[in-house]
Amino acid sequence: MCFPSSRPSLASDAPIGIFDSGIGGLTVAHAIAQAMPAERMLYFGDTAHMPYGDRSPELVRTYSVRIAEFLANEGCKAIVMACNSASATAKAAVQASVPSNVPVIDVVAPVVRHLSRQGVQRVGVIGTRATIGSGIYGHSLREAQRSGGMMDGDVQEWATPLLAPLIEEGWQSHELMLPVIQGYLEAAGWHAGDQRHIDALVLGCTHYPLAEQAFSQVLGPEVHLVDGPTVVAAAVSAALKEQGILAPSGGPSVQHQFMVSDLTDNFVRSAQRFFGKEVHLVPGGPWFQH
Amino acid sequence: MCFPSSRPSLASDAPIGIFDSGIGGLTVAHAIAQAMPAERMLYFGDTAHMPYGDRSPELVRTYSVRIAEFLANEGCKAIVMACNSASATAKAAVQASVPSNVPVIDVVAPVVRHLSRQGVQRVGVIGTRATIGSGIYGHSLREAQRSGGMMDGDVQEWATPLLAPLIEEGWQSHELMLPVIQGYLEAAGWHAGDQRHIDALVLGCTHYPLAEQAFSQVLGPEVHLVDGPTVVAAAVSAALKEQGILAPSGGPSVQHQFMVSDLTDNFVRSAQRFFGKEVHLVPGGPWFQH
């Protein structure tokens, strides 16, 4: 697909395009709706190809670019990559595939900025194989710490691929969540109270905020859990303000659109949990044929 | 794609085509290699689209037909659907998409025949959402039991979507496998020693045989665990014999081919566990472009 280098003008009443490999990104959509109730969203969950966290970087890029082009074609004024695995591997490719004045907001950079502004020193990051394998959080955080003059910062990254399936199954408060989280952290050499303790944990997957309580229980109250979706929603707001395309408030009540590339009963049930209220999923998107 | 209603002749030295949504089907490939060491296999794992167990039946059919056509085009003399979710939803579509004299063997029918021949009465089945949602095991087993004159047969089916990710993560012998299995069975009303006891458990997903020990520990030694891959390998052998296309033995040492639609380090590591020895995975198949 070929876009002009920039679109003549961006309409402030156009929707924000949001995508994720599945329904986890609805936690980000929820935070955006809370922060900016006048904004309309077009959400796309690539449920036919999920989970991106187990795919190769090349394939995640191919899928992400195809979706971003679709959302831009639908007239979206901004693109939110509400998926850590896509943010970690496909940000530049997505940015290059849409008109240059359409802001692209990923879920990694805002969190890194937030942590470095707060001067957090010892940071743990958990996420999918694709996210952790990319090293994006460690790389960006270390760079931000160095450029902020912080010399003794420490970043540890742990792949925790079972957590998303557990949360997707609705087990975020199940008694087994605690030993699974503990098992992962201990396998990585982490023990409560020891020298490798951390000041903050980045929940580097859009599913994880639903299990916040379990993480708190394992890590103790002194470890700060970074609320990714809220931080990302603030970054989206700032980007829209900068372009002068915030939706006019006081208009008619906002109707969002939620599309998925494969629709099953299970996704319908889970979507509500992730968005916090009822969601009407419809099949659609770039691969939609039947 | 359009095939003649039947292929002029099937070459006995052609490979057997085997496919699965990922690498779990290698347990079936392993059983075939054990039972028929002279047979050459072309294995395709659709790692770009896995897991089929969470997809809609329509999408599983679309993917399965595309793969079967690819394997038939590659000259395979038989097609083995080494995936329960595909077997449960796409058998007829796959059969219709390849030449009529190319035998198609799925992983459900041979297990059902095996159980009904053995006269097993109370059967439990565990599998993915797609497999259990299709009701294929319950339906076929009840039909086989009725036609065998068995009046008090009982079939219970339980979706256990977390087991495949756990085994894929290498946790089949992890201490957490037991409470997860127990949690699923108890949520379904099953308790050791009670009235709802079962005589046999069908491990209705190609991943599950790797966790045989954990199932035994939870269910006790009196519950028969059906060894799906071995039963399926026997069915493949019978189908080749019937068509007169068993590979001539005593030839040069057999070279299998293992293709995946997306190649990651993690799949390479896991493949060895599932096949029982080293596997050389290469990217390829119907969606292969880069």
Cβ contact (<8 Å) for A266 and B162?
no
Average pLDDT over residues B162-190: 90
Structurally, chain A folds into a number of domains equal to 2
CA of A95 vs chain B CAs: smallest distance (Å): 21
The candidate with the shortest Cα–Cα distance to B21, out of B74, B69, B59, B77, is B59
Half-sphere CA count of A227, side-chain side, radius 13 A:
8
Of the residues B228, B245, B260, the one at which a domain ends: B228
On whether both A140 and A201 belong to a single domain, the answer is yes
Q: Rounded distance, CA B222 to CA B231, Å?
A: 20
A2 is catalytic: no
A76 is catalytic: no
Cβ contact (<8 Å) for A48 and B58?
no
Nearest CA in chain B to A178: B176
Q: Rounded distance, CA B205 to CA B228, Å?
A: 9
Nearest CA in chain A to B52: A48
Q: Rounded distance, CA A137 to CA A143, Å?
A: 10
Please indicate, yes or no, if residue A288 is contained in any of the structural domains. Answer: no
User: For residue range A96-121, what is the model confidence (pLDDT) as tens digits?
Assistant: 999 999 999 999 999 999 999 999 98
Q: Rounded distance, CA A74 to CA A71, Å?
A: 5
What single-letter amino acid sits at A129? Answer: R
Q: Rounded distance, CA A195 to CA A250, Å?
A: 53
On whether both B154 and B265 belong to a single domain, the answer is no
Please indicate, yes or no, if residue A1 is contained in any of the structural domains. Answer: no
The candidate with the shortest Cα–Cα distance to B136, out of B115, B159, B113, B108, is B108
On whether both B83 and B117 belong to a single domain, the answer is no
B115-154 residues touching A, CB cutoff 8 A: 129
Q: Rounded distance, CA B39 to CA B76, Å?
A: 11
Q: Rounded distance, CA A44 to CA A133, Å?
A: 25
Collapse the DSSP code of A281 into the 3-class scheme (helix H, G, I; strand E, B; otherwise coil) and give the result: strand
Of the residues B181, B200, B228, the one at which a domain ends: B228
Residue A2: the pLDDT is: 54
Q: Rounded distance, CA A205 to CA A82, Å?
A: 9
Q: Which residues of A touch B129 (CB under 8 A)?
A: 264, 266
- Within B148-227, where are the H helices? 163-168, 177-187, 212-219
Residue the block writes with tokens 């059919």? B61
Cβ contact (<8 Å) for B50 and A54?
yes
Query: A96 at the B interface (CB within 8 A)?
Result: no
On whether both B56 and B153 belong to a single domain, the answer is no
Cβ contact (<8 Å) for B262 and A56?
yes
Distances, alpha carbon B168 to alpha carbons A68, B88, B164, B174, B238, in Å:
31, 21, 6, 12, 31
User: For residue range A158-173, what is the model confidence (pLDDT) as tens digits?
Assistant: 999 999 999 999 999 9
Lowest mean pLDDT: which of A151-155, A262-266, B176-180, B248-252?
B248-252
pTM to 2 decimal places = 0.92
CA of B273 vs chain A CAs: smallest distance (Å): 17
Residue the block writes with tokens 């039991």? B145
Confidence tier at B289 by pLDDT (50, 70, 90): low
Query: B183 at the A interface (CB within 8 A)?
Result: yes
A137 vs A152: which has the higher pLDDT:
A137
Structural domain that includes position B100: 16-106+230-283
| B195 pLDDT more than 70 | no
